[in-house]
Amino acid sequence: MTLRVLFAGTPANAAQALRLFGSAARESGKAEVVGVLTREDAPQGRKRVLTPSPVAAAAEELGLPVIKAGRVTGETLESITALRADAAFVVAYGAMLRDDALDALPLGWFNLHYSLLPDLRGAAPVQRSIMLGREQVGATLFRIDAGLDTGPVMRQAAQTRPEGATAGELLDSLTSAGTAEAVQFFADLAADPSLAERGQMQPDGTFDYAHKLTPEDALLDLTGPAEQARLTALGTLPAPGPWVQLAGQKFKIHAVAGTSPGNPGDEPGTVRPADGGIAIQCGDDQLIVTRVQPFGKKPMDAADWLRGASSSPSTELRFTS
């Protein structure tokens, strides 16, 4: 049989998964995407123009029917049922599914989560995995149940976290790896529908939780180790974006290169020139920063900023947390 699949997702990484999954499913002949569920158009930019989600845009390019809804109830549920989908592939849809929605598809809803469950359930697993310094990262395809990322595991893709990768770069990598696992799972499901009920139950226990990021999470602690500041910067790039304060104003960090030994006697936040950028003193060592954005200005090379700031006697050259 050819499995009829509903795709549910909203942001750019979900659009990436839709394109990859749709193409691979067509080539295999084992599954086909019969429709797309995504969130409603949202205001974007300074003028707050209503804009379709990246998944909605991708679906239109692919000629797929699109259902836009923030909640799967009533008419939305009727529209989904009319597609006669067997199962759903979910990537960052952005809303909880009630029991009536979960029961609407014969084989269930299967979600791609960006951690090796049960570790890092929650909204920001990629970012938190970097900030916590996880060496092993991955993506998990699991069947959605009434809990939060608690359903039975169908497949996992594990990898070593690339050194220096930002959250955005790691998200791209895990989307490709996780979608490849989903392609294989749905092909297997087409051949044997009983696989929908044969996942590996997640163990009980207490695990680190991936709370949603706030701008405060991206404020670099300059009193601690430079390595932790580096991990926080990588984990919050590109959004919400790492930052420090300079003269009481927000000073954004756009790229970091590593760490280096500190200068004895330097206070946390002291700025010095470094190869390829600037060195910011942390607790006992320095964070190397290569691209910055001072308050009210455009992003620029850190070395260029320092040269300009050093020539202005009115510019303070010490960052604070």
Q: Given a cut of 70, is residue 282 above it in pLDDT?
A: yes
259 shares a domain with 199: no
Q: Say what the pLDDT of residue 312 is.
A: 76
Sorting pLDDT into bands at 50, 70 and 90, what band is 48?
confident
**Position 154 confidence tier, pLDDT thresholds 50, 70, 90:** very high
Please determine, for residue 22, whether its predicted confidence score (pLDDT) is greater than 80.
Answer: yes
112 φ, ψ (degrees, to nearest 5): -95, 115
Whole-number pLDDT of residue 303:
96
Do 179 and 270 lie in a common domain? no
pLDDT band for 44, please (50, 70, 90 cuts).
Answer: confident
Of 150, 179, 210, the position where a domain reaches its end is: 210
Return the closest-CA partner of residue 276 out of 257, 251, 250, 254.
257
Has residue 54 got a pLDDT over 70?
A: yes
Residue type, 151: G
C-alpha 124, offset from chain centre = 6
Q: Write down which residue in 210, 229, 255 finishes a domain.
A: 210
- The residue segments making up the domain with residue 273 are 215-320
Task: List pLDDT tens digits, range 164-185.
Answer: 999 999 999 999 999 999 999 9
DSSP 8-state symbol, 216: G
Let me know whether 192 and 242 are in one domain.
no
Residues 18 and 96 in one domain: yes
Tokens 């470094």 label which residue?
Answer: 274
Could you tell me if 202 and 160 lie in one domain?
A: yes
Structural domain ending residue among the three candidates 193, 210, 227: 210
The pLDDT, as a whole number, for residue 311 is 82
Is the pLDDT at 45 greater than 90? The verdict is no
The CATH number for 113's domain is: 3.40.50.170
In the chain, the largest separation of any two C-alpha atoms, in whole Å, equals: 74
Tell whether 158 and 88 lie within a shared domain: yes
- Whether 198 and 238 map to the same domain: the answer is no
pLDDT tens digit sequence for 138-152:
999 999 999 999 999
Residues 125, 25 within the same domain: yes
SS3 at position 83: coil
In this structure, are 107 and 203 located in the same domain?
yes
Which comes out higher in pLDDT, residue 311 or 258? Answer: 258
Report how far residue 104's alpha carbon sits from residue 87's, in angstroms, rounded to the nearest whole number.
9
**What CATH number does residue 243 fall under?**
3.10.25.10
Q: What's the burial of 268, exposed, middle or buried (CB within 10 Å: 0-12/13-18/19+)?
A: buried
Instruction: Looking at the structure, tell me whether residues 113 and 220 fall in a common domain.
Output: no
For residue 179, what is the enclosing H or E element? helix 167-191
Q: Give the pLDDT confidence score for residue 2 in this predicted structure.
A: 93
Residue 89 burial class via C-beta count within 10 angstroms: exposed 0-12, middle 13-18, buried 19 and up: buried
User: What percent of the chain clears pLDDT 70, i.e. is strictly above it?
Assistant: 99
- CA distances 257 to 1, 287, 308, Å, are 51, 8, 21
Task: Dump pLDDT digits (tens) for 286-303.
Answer: 999 999 999 999 999 999
Residue 313 reports pLDDT greater than 80: no
103 vs 49, residue with greater confidence:
103
Mean pLDDT for all residues in the chain: 95
How many domains does the chain contain in total?
2
Q: Are 134 and 147 members of one domain?
A: yes
| Residues 143 and 30 occupy one common structural domain | yes
pLDDT band, residue 314 (cuts 50/70/90): low
pLDDT at 143: 98
User: Residue 158 pLDDT > 80, yes or no?
Assistant: yes
Q: How far apart are CA 282 and CA 164, in angstroms?
A: 19
